[in-house]
Structure 1
Amino acid sequence: MVKNYFILSLRNLVRNRVYSLINIAGLTIGLAAAMLIVLYTKDEVSYDRFHTHQDRLYRIVSDDVTPNGDVAGKSTITGYLQGPKFQLNIPEVLSYVRFHSTQLDVKQGTKVKSQEIYLTDSSFFNVFSFPLLKGNPKTALQHPKSIVLTEEMALKQFGTTDALGKIMQIKDKETFEPYTVTGIAQKSPQNSSIKFDILMPMMVTAEEIQDKENWFNMFLNTFVLVAPGTNISTLEAKMNKIYLGDAKNAIQSIREKYNVKNTTYYRLQPFTDMHLSKELPVVNGLQDGSNPMFSYILSGIALFILLIACINFVNLTLARSLKRAKEIGVRKVVGGGRKQLIMQFMGESFVLCFIAFGLAIVLVQLTLPTFNQLANKALSLSYLLDIQLILTYILLFLLTGTLAGFYPALVLSSYNPVQTLYNRFQISGKNYLQKSLVVLQFSLASFLIIATLTIFDQFSYLTHKDLGYDDHNLITIPKNSLTRTEGKLLKEQLLLNPAIEDVALKNRGSWGTSARINKDQDIQFSYETVDATYLPLLHIPVIKGRNFSGELSTDSTKSVLVNESFVKEAGWKNPIGQEVNFWYNNNERYTVVGVVKDHHFSALNEKIRPQLFTMKPKNQYGMAFIKIRPHTETASLQHIEKVFKKLFPINPYIYTFREQENLKNYETEAKWKQIMLFGAILTIFISCIGLFGLATLSAEKRTKEIGIRKVLGASVASIVQLLSMDFIKLVGISFVFAFPVAWFAANKWLENYPYRTDIGWSIFLLTAVLAMTIALLTVSYQAIKSALANPVKSLRTE
């Protein structure tokens, strides 16, 4: 019996090749999209779960609590003392690992390259399950001059993975020191928040452990391994008791010195929660932090596509039902029961789904590299070997086959055999279900079109908005600890080339501090160390007062500039002449001599913070900004490299174009723009297949009506309009459902950006025109075909 159902199913699929291909294509795309998203989601939720003790691993985090009990801020970084103090005094804390990243210069032959290196404790390989292929995991990081490399780094550095005992030259302060390779590690798994190429031991002196203020010198991650069965709430209470007791005097000193009123309370974050945490993200050497919203959005797109593919199957099957009415009648007359017919039609559904499932696996394999690039992943079909994933795909197959075939099987098996054999059969009702499904399809399609257009609009806004400074033809070169003398010499040598317009110096990275204003008000701000040419070079206006002057010696010791946001937060109406008191630095006092126009030096994802600019001699520069003449990139870069290597031969030479660096800030938006575009195109494509099916059904139902209208003189255009308007109405109804939901979702998404575009009526108008046009083009083929048919043949269909 099953074999017979299978043979009949294949015959019907071959007999109706066009409709079978359309169904298979739709289901293949839908299943492939679902498979890709299942792979993505599986990878997201599997992060950091490969560690043997993953259920007992935690990261120490903290809350900054105000005197009235409100949480003013959350932090994921700690200092030297948290790990060792808690392990020493709390039996439940079995071990700890401190971990942070730094940039150090590594010498390979005569070449020097800046390399990201991770500093950690000797317990690293005992706490975490990172395989050490060569070396002793217990002792690999105990010696101060030891170093652990991954296989890839060993091969890159020495040309072989057999590198135990080999020497690497790493710059320590001002000289290169020899470090001995004591371990070769396997490459970190793709789904790990901790990824490293080079590990070095973190050496903390006894004096640093005794210094209680190191409770507050927070710059690294601390992880702890707790004993089985530990009550985490009780453990957190013990941690805070030890901290408040051990650091009592230091806390009092910090409060008096810096006027701190809030209190820090420590707690534990499960290690496996870090990757998808929105409140406590991965920072300071940890990688691949994500947002669960990405999985929700991708899953929604995949569900939309798969649902629309199933809807198409239903519509197309019903559209062809009139062609199979006699077959059903004959089967019923010769004794075929309804149950047998349902089994046959369900069998056809599963055969078609099985073919689509196989093709979907091939399609996933072909599109996986592109998907990995878009999603910033390294997924592979080897993930399919996971038992849970295989079961998920089997369930997906069964669910798709059932959803696609169940309703058509019920409808087709219910036909009256007498009516079908005498050609008196007509599908009853007004096809509300099919029409509702089309409305649903185009509601989903319209939603995705609006989402896509919104992301495109926001991306365009982010990449074209005036930043408040000129980043064109601007090259930046980092040089740590750049002194005033070195900076002056670098400027002089660079400006010898006519292709270089000007050079300015600034601190590297983002500095932040606080100071006192208005006698008793503390204000936090970004602390920028610049020279007198920095603002003019970047074309940043000084809107009040004046810029720094290189000829006034007091500008470097007594004067500062502030931006508009600083003035606003300070509440100054007349900012020029106001005093900024760095009271914790022996009451250093500075006078505001100018107000700088707000500019977006950070990404537009961040709100402009208060900024203060200084030329304080004790602050070192760390970055050179070089303005070159247009179309002189090659000559300028050659000259810059030559000068830099001449002046700083043991420092790595790295350059970036500021304009390109700014665009990199929006790589996430660029990827989502492409993902949403592909999702919208697929949804529209599959929706049009469904619409085509319903148009076919309508034309077949109204064959005689069309013939009569033509005999009575109706034109082709009027018949096309008659057949098309029903579907255009359905698409119009879909807007009623899609537009409000899309408007709400788009606004919620844009709330993540402090600077964002507005959702204008043009997006909804463009969506409506686009959807209507696509729908009309889809329906018009079948409508024109029916309108041009010979009316004599149409009237003989009885």
Structure 2
Amino acid sequence: MLQNYFKIAVRNLFRNKVFSFINVAGLALGLSCCMLIALYTKDEVSFDRFQKNKDRLYRVTVSMTGEKESSTTGSTNAIHGPTFREEIPEIEAIVRMQSNSFVTKKGNELLSENVVFVDDNFFSVFSMPLLAGEPKTALAGVNSVVLSEDLAVKYFNTKDALGQTIDFKIGENFEAFTVTGVAKRCPQNSSLQFDALLSFKFQEARGWLDNAWLGFYMNTFVLLHEKANYLSVVPKLDRVFYTKAREELSQQEGFKQRVHFDLQPFLQIHQASEQYELRNGLDHGSKPIYSYILTGIALFILLIACINFVNLTVARSLKRSKEIGIRKVVGSLRKQLIYQFLGESFLLSLVAFLLGIVLTLAVMPTFNELANKQLALSYLLDAGLVSAYVALFLLTALVAGFYPALVLSGFSPVQTLYNRTKLTHKNYLTKGLVVFQFALSVCLLIGTIVIYSQFNYLVNKDLGYNDEQLLSFSMGRGRGGQEKLAVLMQELEAIAGVESVAAFNGHYNGTGAKVDGRELGFGYIGVDDNFLPTLQIPVLQGRNFSQRFPSDPTDAVIVNEAFVKEAGWREPIGQEIDFFWKNQKMKVIGVIKDYHYASLKEKIAPLLLTQDPNYGLRTVFVKLRTGQAEQDVPGAVKAIESTFRKHVPLMPFEYRFEDVTNAKRYEAEAQWRQMITWATILSIFVSCIGLFGLATFSAETRIKEIGIRKVMGASAAAIVALLSKDFVVLVLLAIVIASPVSYYGATLWLENFPYREPIAWWYFAVAASLAIAVALATVGYQSIKAALMNPVKSLRSE
């Protein structure tokens, strides 16, 4: 019996090649999407779970709450961790991490490497295996360094690099560090990422560590004892802080913020990058919403594929009605027919499942690039995932085949043998499923248009300064920087392709001061006289810094519009700002137009510019002439590099163009734009397969009606319009349902951007037009085929 069912199933597959291909292709696409998202979700869930102490590891976080604003950070200072360990018995160990960029030598070549300082118990607390070296002593020496296997190969052409020395630039000289360990490459599902590790003992020996209680610039991790209660530890952190920092806090006149320490579970770090920054050895942050959205899209595409399977199977059922009638006449029971059609469903699903695996492997490199992952079936192939895939296959086969099996097995043998088979209830379920399919596709289509529009807005919006042909580079740390900088800038201005040169301190630091008796937080940068003209930032009121006013470095500041608004000034020029923390008062000499010095995903904050002589200017902006030909730009860059190497011989020349840097800020949006676009294309394609099935069903059930209409004189065009009208109505209904849902979803997504493109009516018009055009193109073939059929063939049996 089973063999007979199998033969009939195979024969039906080959007899209806187009139908079989469409069914298998649709299911394969849906299953492939689910497999990819299963890999993605598995990777997200598996992050950091290889750590043996994962359940006892926490990162110290800090929140500061003032009268009007609050802030949170995952950073601490050097003194916090060791003091907490000494004062709180539940803490077994602490590990601090701080990253720095160092210049290194590889032969005669100068390179820049990111190095992470850690405590010497790093390998005892974290499960980061060493290929060579002793975990407990690898970082015991002041000049010890642990390299990753990749960095060992890069510098020494071998992973067996124990005992080798590598030179790091410390100040103005190079100092040798001995390789005491080679670490295995950090797993891609690890929040901890490093290429080289140095011990904090080196900083302690040099006196580099900042032991202020109100400093926050490194990560501190605590390992609790096995029986320690996390909730009982948290209040003790605040008690230790306010006890030990009492004297320091009393010296901070005007500091009224409430400082609260907390512990973030290590396993939550990966998906909490939006709340707490990932730096100082932490990377690969993510957001849970990504997994939810991708999982939802994959499940919907699979659901659409299953709906198509139902529609196509029912649509083709009339072709097999006589087979069903004969089987019932000769004694087949309904349950036997159900088994037969479920078996055919499982066979089709098996073929689709195997094809889905092939598709998954084929598109995985592209998916990895879009999702910024390194997924592979071999990497994540485990018993749980295999079980999930098998369950996915069985569920798909059952869902896709159960309803058609019930419908087909219920045909009356008398009706089928006389070609009078009809499906009852006007097939509301099938039509409803098609409406659901297209509603989802229209939602994704509108979402794609919104994402494209917002992305174009982000990359093309006026930033308030001109980043075109604006190059920047750093001079690094070192003594005698300002004198060297002045000479370097003078020579850079003499280069033919250079329009202007400026300098600033290189970072938008945060600080606070008193304005009209109240404390105000703001960004704080040091600049030279040419900074505003070079970046073409307009001065709206007052004047720029100038050498004609020798008191500017000590007495004058420039603020932006956001600062003026926050301070509540009507006449900002001449207003006084009290830097109580350094016992200095300065006056506002100018107001500049707000410019986006950060991402457009962040609202422009109050900003203050200063020429404080204690603020070292180490970053140089070079504005190239925008009118020069593109082929002249490399020549100008080469001349700039030559001048740089002349004055800064022990630093690698690493430059960037600001317009490229600004575009990179929206890489996540660019990736999501591509992923949603592909999801939209897939959903529309799979939905069209379902529409094709419904068109086939409609044409076959109305074949005699069409024949009668043609005999009575109806034209082919009239019949095509008649058949297409029903489908257009379904698509219009889908558009009506999808539009408010899409508007709501788009509004929620755009709320993440303080600067955004408003939702326009034409988004919905374009989506509706595309949906209708695709629907008409899909059903057009079946409609035209039915309209051109000879009516004699359809009516001769009557």
Please report the TM-score for the alignment, with normalisation by the length of structure 2: 0.97
1:501: Cα distance to partner? 1.1
C-alpha displacement of 1:190: 0.5
Distance 1:616 1:78 in 2: 27
| 1:634 corresponds to | 634
Question: Within 2, Cα distance between the matches of 1:748 and 1:779?
Answer: 35
Contact 1:350–1:401 at 8 Å: present in 2 too?
A: yes
| Aligned residue in 2 for 1:546 | 543
8 Å Cα contact 2:32-2:357 kept in structure 1:
yes
Which residue of the partner structure matches residue 188 of structure 1?
A: 186
Per-residue Cα deviation, 1:433-462 (whole angstroms, up to 9, x for no partner): 000000000000000001100000000000
Cα distance in 2 for partners of 1:432, 1:14 equals 30
Given that residues 728 and 776 in structure 1 are in contact (C-alpha distance below 8 angstroms), is that contact kept between their aligned partners in structure 2?
yes
SS, match of residue 621 in structure 2: strand
Q: 2:414 aligns with which of 402, 415, 418?
A: 418
The question of 1:264 aligning with 2:259 is answered yes
Q: 2:163·2:178 contact (CA, 8 Å) conserved in 1?
A: yes
2:577 is aligned to 580
Q: Residue deviations 1:410-443, cap 9 Å, x none?
A: 0000100111112222222211000000000000
Larger deviation: 458-467 or 487-496? 487-496
- Residues 47-103 of structure 1, C-alpha deviation per residue, up to 9 Å, x if partnerless? 110011111111111232458xx9933221111122222222333211111112111
Offset of 1:205 from its aligned partner? 4.0
The separation in 1 between residues aligned to 2:380 and 2:143, in whole angstroms, is: 43
Q: CA deviation digits over 1:507-531, x for unaligned, max 9?
A: 112212111222x121111112111
State the AA in 1 paired with 2:95: V
Partner of 1:451: 447
Hey, which bits of structure 1, 4+ residues long, moved more than 6 A?
Answer: 206-211
The match for 1:555 is 552
The AA in structure 2 aligned to 1:276 is Q
Distance in structure 2 (CA, Å) of the matches to 1:25 and 1:406 = 19
Deviation at 1:580, TM superposition (A): 1.5
Q: Which residue of 1 aligns with 2:508?
A: 510
Q: Cα distance, 1:39 vs. partner? A: 0.5
Alpha-carbon distance, 1:253 to partner: 2.9
Task: Give the 5 Å matches for 1:230-245.
Answer: 230-245=228-243
- Aligned AA (2:687): S
Q: 1:124 aligns with which of 99, 122, 125?
A: 122
Q: Letter of the aligned partner of 1:243 in structure 2? A: F
The residue number in structure 1 matching 2:561 is 564
Q: State the alpha-carbon separation in 2 of the partners of residues 651 and 603 from structure 1.
A: 29
Query: How many angstroms apart in 1 are the aligned matches of 2:645 and 2:327?
Result: 88
SS, match of residue 198 in structure 2: strand
* Correspondence 1:130-145 to 2 at 5 A: 130-145=128-143
* Aligned pair partner of 1:400 in 392, 396, 399: 396
Residue 294 (1) aligns with residue 290 (2): yes
**Is the Cα–Cα contact under 8 Å of residues 704 and 797 in structure 1 kept in the other structure?**
no
2:528 paired residue number:
531
Q: Distance in 2 between matches of 1:306 and 1:396?
A: 10
Q: Deviations over 1:750-795 (max 9, x none)?
A: 0001100111100000000000000011111111111111111121
Tell me if structure 1 keeps the 8 A contact 2:500–2:534.
yes
- 1:311 aligned onto 2:307: yes
Paired residue secondary structure (2:319): helix
Shift of 1:384: 4.3
- Other-structure match for 1:64: 64
* SS of equivalent to 2:117: strand
Contact preservation (8 Å) 2:249, 2:255: no
Structure 1 distance, partners of 2:777, 2:656, is 48
What does residue 722 of structure 1 align with?
A: 722
Q: Secondary structure at the match of 1:515?
A: strand
Deviations 1:693-725 (A, max 9, x none): 000100111111111111111111111110000
State the TM-score, normalizing by the size of structure 1: 0.97
Which range moves more in the overlay, 599-608 or 642-651?
A: 599-608
Query: Residues 342-393 of structure 1: CA distance to partner in whole angstroms, max 9, x if unpaired?
Result: 1111111111111111111111111111000000001111134211111111
For residues 7 and 281 of structure 1, do their structure 2 counterparts lie closer, same or farther at Cα, with a shift above 3 Å needed? farther
Percent identity over paired residues: 49
Q: Provide the C-alpha distance between the structure 2 equivalents of 1:562 and 1:66, rounded to a whole number of angstroms.
A: 22
For 1:268, the aligned partner's letter is L
Encode CA deviations 1:163-184: one digit per residue, 9 max, x unaligned. 1011111012222111000001
| Cα shift at 1:735 | 1.3
Residue 248 (str. 1) matches residue 246 (str. 2): yes
SS in 1 for 2:212: helix
Q: In terms of mean alpha carbon deviation, does 481-490 or 16-25 score higher? A: 481-490
Does the CA contact (< 8 Å) of 1:513 and 1:526 recur in 2? yes
Looking at structure 1, the residues matched to 232 and 284 of structure 2 have their Cα atoms a distance apart, in angstroms, of 31
Call closer, same or farther: CA 1:4–1:57 in 2, change over 3 Å: farther
The SS at the match of 1:214 is coil
The aligned counterpart of 1:780 is 780
**2:498 maps to 1:473:** no
Contact 1:208 1:214 in 2 (8 A): no
Aligned to 2:676: 676
Find the counterpart in structure 2 of residue 165 from structure 1. Answer: 163
Distance 2:711 2:519 in 1: 89
Q: Which amino acid aligns with 1:741?
A: V
Provide the rounded CA distance (Å) in 2 between the counterparts of 1:107 and 1:251: 44
Tell me what 2:342 maps to.
Answer: 346
Q: How far apart, CA to CA, are the structure 2 residues paired with 1:414 and 1:494? A: 86
Match of 2:76 among 78, 100, 124: 78
Q: Does 1:621 align with 2:630?
A: no
1:732-763 alpha-carbon deviations (Å, 9 max, x no partner): 00112111111001010000011001111000
